[in-house]
Amino acid sequence: MSDGDCRDNLIASSLPLFAAKGLNGVSVRELAAAAGVNLSMISYYFGGKEGLYAAVLTDQFAILGKLDELVQRETDTLRKFELYVRATVTRYRKNPYLLRFYTSELTNPTASFETIIKPAIKNVVQTLLDAFADALSHEDFRADLDPADTVLALAGMINFYFLLEPATAELVDHSPERDEELVRHIMDIFTRGVLK
């Protein structure tokens, strides 16, 4: 196995273990066994379990950096917010463990919180705040709204929807076939309180 393959294998095989048990709940032996490698490979590639965990988080949260590309598009502000909602739906569909890392790091932060999680979240919020400021400059949104409260409410709607999925599965159809309807509903809820 090449160095790149071994490194990627360690990240991929440790992802579900870290998501299920957290940084402190999984042993280095479990991680090595899941990857089918010698225990020393974790130290060799990552400097230890914490380094492997940081690599997993970096990989999982890298997708948040792509939000800038979506929002920088030349389009109206409301469309930028819709692109954010769509990207969030896609993010959770493609990265089913991401929410576990969010909740784990927000409620019981590790050393990676300050270096990986917090900057990624701040970048998303800042990007949305910039889009909101643009909308205000064009008088598209009500001027009496607090920008931070507004963008956090939008982010909260879409993130909480997926966060509650395990508890609401019997009450709500969370199937991917409903994603388009979900995006429309969230945008409808968001815009009725925002647009002039």
Q: What is the pTM of this model?
A: 0.86
DSSP alpha helix (H) spans, the chain: 3-21, 28-35, 40-46, 49-61, 67-71, 77-94, 98-107, 112, 118-137, 147-163, 165-168, 179-192
Specify the pLDDT at position 136.
Answer: 85
Class of domain 60-192: mainly alpha
Contact (Cβ atoms closer than 8 angstroms) between residue 99 and residue 163: yes
Specify the pLDDT at position 69.
Answer: 74
- CA 23, 24, 29, 32: dihedral to nearest 10 degrees? 0
- Could you tell me which of 84, 79, 81 has the C-alpha nearest to residue 67? 84
Specify the pLDDT at position 110.
Answer: 96
Specify the pLDDT at position 71.
Answer: 64
Collect the ranges in the chain with pLDDT lower than 50: 195
Residue spans per domain, the chain? 3-56, 60-192
Contact (Cβ atoms closer than 8 angstroms) between residue 112 and residue 57: yes
Contact (Cβ atoms closer than 8 angstroms) between residue 45 and residue 10: yes
Specify the pLDDT at position 70.
Answer: 67
Q: What is the CATH number of domain 3-56?
A: 1.10.10.60
**Complete DSSP assignment for 152-196:** HHHHHHHHHHHHTHHHHTTTS---GGGHHHHHHHHHHHHHHTTB-
Specify the pLDDT at position 131.
Answer: 87
- Fold agreement between 3-56 and 60-192: no
Structure-block tokens of residue 173: 């159809």
